Amino acid sequence: MAGSNPNAKPMNLTLNVWRQPNRNTEGRIVEYKVKDISPEMSFLEMLDVLNEDLLHAGEDPVAFDHDCREGICGSCDLFINGRSHGPEKGTTTCQLHMRKFSDGDTITIEPWRANAFPVNKDLSVDRSAFDRIIQAGGYISVNTGGVPDGNEIPVPKEIADRAFEAATCIACGACVAACKNASAMLFVSAKVSQLALLPQGHAERKTRVENMVAQMDKEGFGACTNIGSCAAECPVGISLENIAMLNREFIVAKATSNNLA
Amino acid sequence: MLLDSKIPEGPLAEKWDKHKFNVKLVNPANKRKYDVIVVGTGLAGSSAAASLAELGYNVKAFTYHDSPRRAHSIAAQGGINAAKNYQNDGDSVFRLFYDTIKGGDYRAREANVYRLAQVSVNIIDQCVAQGVPFAREYGGLLANRSFGGAQVSRTFYARGQTGQQLLLGAYSALSRQVAYGKVKLYTRSEMLDLVMVDGVARGIVTRNVLTGEIENHAAHAVVLATGGYGNVFYLSTNAKLCNVTAAWRAHKKGAYFANPCFTQIHPTCIPVSGDYQSKLTLMSESLRNDGRVWVPKTVEMAQRLRKGEIRVQDIQEDDRDYFLERKYPAFGNLVPRDVASRNAKMMCDEGRGVGSTGLAVYLDFAEIIQRTGAEAVSQKYGNLFAMYEKITGEDPYKLPMRIYPAVHYTMGGLWVDYNLQTTIPGLYATGECNFSDHGANRLGASALMQGLADGYFVIPYTIGDYLAQTAPKPVDTQHPAFAEAKAGVQARTEQLLAIKGTRTPDQFHKALGHIMWEYCGMARNAEGLRHAKTEIQRLRKEFWSDVRVVGTGEELNQTLEKAGRVADFLELGELMVDDALARNESCGGHFREEYQTPEGEALRDDENFAYVAAWEYQGDNQPEKLNKEELTFENVKLTQRSYK
């Protein structure tokens, strides 16, 4: 049953899905058929249909991460036909709709592939490395209470807007999955830029970038070789300029560091 | 038990300051001797966990997500209210208090709401200091916008992603405390029971969703910040994983559940497109400033439209019914959420709905596009139009949007006193999880305000008062109550796996959602509610004999997780129906068809129903006991709302 277009035809599809019981067991691609898929469905709703079918057949449904299904929580993370979040630009998997596919298509669905993101099960991966990078310095050290009035420090609109653009990163990991080096530079640079741009973040500017980059390396993410596939595949449009800013911040911090460690 | 709201004595404006002075303090050296569990890492949970850790308490924070930042607060769009009066337009703490009480249709507690308005100003300062990139004017100062239910501009925002930015601020504060070792973070851990020792909250039982391990955790106090229960309707604007389980288990251990039938239905959501629909997406309320709502004048025309025999463009101006403008000439398309939602439903019930399902009305921008040009409209609503097109495949610059109301927020929740403590000593509830501040209807941009008020500025004071009266002795999980609770969780998990029935958890969930939406949704009546009660009882019985879960409990098993949540929704649903049935009046989001004015508007009964309904659990399949907390209004005058 279609919503906007009563004439939209349901589709039959072949899915090649990565199945892996847990991180210690080898995985493999398994083929499934799904029938009568409405073009109005979201990609995840199509997977819901597959999972209901599997459940009725007594088989283990495909595990995948998802939550808000409106493109903002960053939970969903599928590598679809060799691309992070699939074929539509600027779109998370949950906002990708089946009208972007055609009847008879074969769709390959894999988890993010990166050493720093081990597979939990099937399509679900462990992205806790991102949390640890933030814990290494992705904050401004203020306690609750005792802060100045919100209008005490004016922030030029252009600066506030640029900081906002960087701050919209949803930490989905598409950048890492898209990168041939599995680099997390775009993710790290978005947070570093946001806090380096705002006057509130200046006090910890140097230690922040040093610590976050050190943690990034420790987690096993690869190096950045300026290919730019991260920004091309980012569902929320985080710009490569952030990586340039991260590099600048990092060099200045290292050259003038008070951090003797 | 007698309900004591513990509202401090004295004039409204002085209550919170006096209370802060009167509460007992824990001396700095002793704070590290207390452990506090915080469940949930949305705005209310992250802010509480970070603030308590900063004070020196040992905090354990739990989330079933892979990261605290995934909590559903992240999806809030519009903004956060604060009585800053930066715009010099007459705002004040009292005005924000007054608007919130009135917006809630006079079913909230004056003292709590006043405190909320007071601390609202501190929230903005805190978030700015954390690096939250709020919208700013060219001079570098903070920008504001207007929102429904207020005549002043007091809403702070970060484009259409205010919730995201505020949550990332709270998440950064939480991450800092994790780095300091003051917060121990448990991700992918779902709370499945509360543990009580000697009548007080002493810990929780969790399930590690990756390994299936059932774990006990002890603390001197427990804070639930686990959000609302809108997903009882299956389809809502909530995230897929949002559920009532933590709050419900606490309820079954003795925490009263307040006003469960108060749910908010948001009028402008993208409609259901088919049976496979998994969730509904909100389109910001601001669209009603310029969009005109209509349906075809005749059922016959609507039918042809649904079949695809005619197109929307074929319907002449004279054949369109702009029903909100017709019925409410004074407010037109800008009537409050509950009124707009109910009227859309009425049109669809008459058979005049549009879209292939017939469950949608048009929100048309043709006039404003003609008057000001597509470019001007894009400046204002570009991102919303783009999101609409992504989901529906239709271009709202050319065709009217189709919208339909959807469940959005639950005003009800665990009953708490002025200290945000539930009826269980040592158990607190914050944010949407509690019932406290929004009465029978929440105003836009007030949910973020309440979540952060509770976490940053209320709980850090009030929990200290309780802990100061608790011995600073180490707590552990040795008490038999822990083993017992753990065994209970284990048994339930095994039971769900053992049924091996024929219907999936989603099938049961959808069936429940259908009952709730039909009989306990936008409009309710006694007959329908009684029918719903029987239906829910039948469905619950079927669930426990026919649900199908495959796999084991010792692995990532998302079907098992779902089944547990649906089981709790099946119990909560009945309580919501009981509550709606007991409240013989209409107020805010609760519209009982028997209680309306001759013009079809909500008819409150202040004489008999100006109370909080706090339900007390009496055991499995027993009717719950209704306790009443009378609401007294000393600072506002109760009036009937009118939008004609």
Question: Is A136 in the same domain as A251?
Answer: yes
Any domain includes B21: no
Question: Is A21 in the same domain as A74?
Answer: yes
Residue B184 pLDDT: 98
Give the closest of A65, A69, A157 to B278, CB-based: A69
Q: Which of B493, B488, B505, B497 is nearest to B542 (CA)?
A: B505
Which has the higher per-residue pLDDT, B641 or B358?
Answer: B358
Question: Is A235 in the same domain as A214?
Answer: yes
Question: Is B159 in the same domain as B68?
Answer: yes
The enclosing domain of A161 has a CATH number of: 1.10.1060.10
Question: Is B312 in the same domain as B403?
Answer: yes
Q: Amino acid identity of B555? A: E
Q: Is the pLDDT of residue B107 over 90?
A: yes
Q: Which of A184, A47, A68, A188 is nearest to A115 (CA)?
A: A184
Any domain includes A2: no
Q: Amino acid identity of B13? A: A
Active site residue B136: no
Work out the end-to-end distance of chain A between its first and last CA atoms, rounded to an integer number of angstroms: 63
- CA geometry: angle B148, B150, B155, nearest 5 deg: 75
Instruction: Check CB contact under 8 Å for B133 and A39.
Output: no
User: Which positions in chain B touch A150 (Cβ < 8 Å)?
Assistant: 84, 124-125, 127-128, 134, 142
Give the closest of A21, A99, A134 to B393, CB-based: A99
The enclosing domain of A36 has a CATH number of: 3.10.20.30
Q: Report percent pLDDT > 90 for chain B.
A: 88
Question: Is B270 in the same domain as B252?
Answer: no
Question: Is A139 in the same domain as A224?
Answer: yes
Q: Which of A146, A152, A140 is nearest to B460 (CA)?
A: A146
Question: Is B175 in the same domain as B274?
Answer: no
Instruction: Check CB contact under 8 Å for B172 and A49.
Output: no
Q: Is the pLDDT of residue B368 over 90?
A: yes
- Is the Cβ–Cβ distance between B249 and B420 less than 8 Å? no
Question: Is B414 in the same domain as B401?
Answer: no
Q: Is the pLDDT of residue A259 over 70?
A: no
The enclosing domain of B107 has a CATH number of: 3.50.50.60
Any domain includes A3: no
Q: Cβ atoms within 10 A of the Cβ of B134, count?
A: 24
Question: Is B561 in the same domain as B587?
Answer: yes
C-alpha pair distances (Å), B313 with each of A66, B372, B399, B421: 38, 20, 8, 56
Distance CA B177, CA B183 (A): 5
Q: Is the pLDDT of residue A7 over 60?
A: no
**Predicted confidence (pLDDT) per residue in B201-257, tens digit:** 999 999 999 999 999 999 999 999 999 999 999 999 999 999 999 999 999 999 999
**Predicted confidence (pLDDT) per residue in A134-156, tens digit:** 999 999 999 999 999 999 999 99
Q: Is the pLDDT of residue B379 over 80?
A: no
Q: Which of B556, B606, B560, B612 is nearest to B586 (CA)?
A: B606
Question: Is B164 in the same domain as B202?
Answer: yes
Question: Is B246 in the same domain as B302?
Answer: no
Mean pLDDT, residues B621-637 taken together: 96
Question: Is A238 in the same domain as A147?
Answer: yes
Question: Is B378 in the same domain as B236?
Answer: no
pLDDT band of B331, cuts 50, 70, 90: confident
Any domain includes A202: yes
Distance CA B600, CA B592 (A): 11
Any domain includes A184: yes
pLDDT band of A1, cuts 50, 70, 90: very low
Which residue among A78, A94, A120 closes a domain? A120
B529 Cβ contact partners less than 8 Å away, ≥ 6 residues apart: B519, B520, B577, B580, B581
Distance CA A160, CA A185 (A): 22
B403 Cβ contact partners less than 8 Å away, ≥ 6 residues apart: B267, B268, B269, B270, B271, B283, B293, B344, B360, B361, B362, B363
Distance CA A71, CA A81 (A): 20
Q: For testing the chain B interface, which of A72, A112, A133 should be mutated: the one with the most B CBs within 10 Å?
A: A72
Distance CA B421, CA B441 (A): 22
Instruction: Check CB contact under 8 Å for B173 and A127.
Output: no
Instruction: Write down how long chain B is.
Output: 644
Any domain includes B472: no
Question: Is A110 in the same domain as A154?
Answer: no
Distance CA A247, CA B538 (A): 63
C-alpha pair distances (Å), B409 with each of B110, B113, B405, B441: 21, 18, 12, 9
Q: Amino acid identity of B423? A: T
The enclosing domain of B580 has a CATH number of: 1.20.58.100
- Is the Cβ–Cβ distance between B420 and B458 less than 8 Å? yes
> Which region holds residue B400: left if phi is over 0, alpha if psi is between -120 and 50, else beta?
beta
Question: Is B99 in the same domain as B237?
Answer: yes
Range of the domain at A242: 128-255
Q: Is the pLDDT of residue A161 over 60?
A: yes
Question: Is A151 in the same domain as A113?
Answer: no
Instruction: Check CB contact under 8 Å for B141 and A65.
Output: no
Q: Which of B41, B468, B473, B42 is nearest to B218 (CA)?
A: B473
Catalytic residue among B115, B337, B540, B583: B337
Question: Is B258 in the same domain as B285?
Answer: no
Domains: count for chain A: 2
Give the closest of B139, B279, B402 to A69, CB-based: B279
Which residue among B407, B440, B457 closes a domain? B407
Mean pLDDT, residues B154-171 taken together: 94
User: Which positions in chain A touch B279 (Cβ < 8 Å)?
Assistant: 69-70
Question: Is B506 in the same domain as B417?
Answer: no
Range of the domain at B91: 36-264+409-467
- The owner of tokens 């796996």 is B497
CB-based burial of residue A138 (10 Å sphere; 0-12 exposed, 13-18 middle, 19+ buried)? Answer: buried
Domains: count for chain B: 3
φ, ψ at B437 (rounded to 5°): -110, -10
Whether the complex's predicted ipTM surpasses the cut of 0.95? yes
Work out the end-to-end distance of chain B between its first and last CA atoms, rounded to an integer number of angstroms: 44
Distance CA A7, CA B449 (A): 45
> Which region holds residue B535: left if phi is over 0, alpha if psi is between -120 and 50, else beta?
alpha
- CA geometry: angle B450, B455, B457, nearest 5 deg: 90
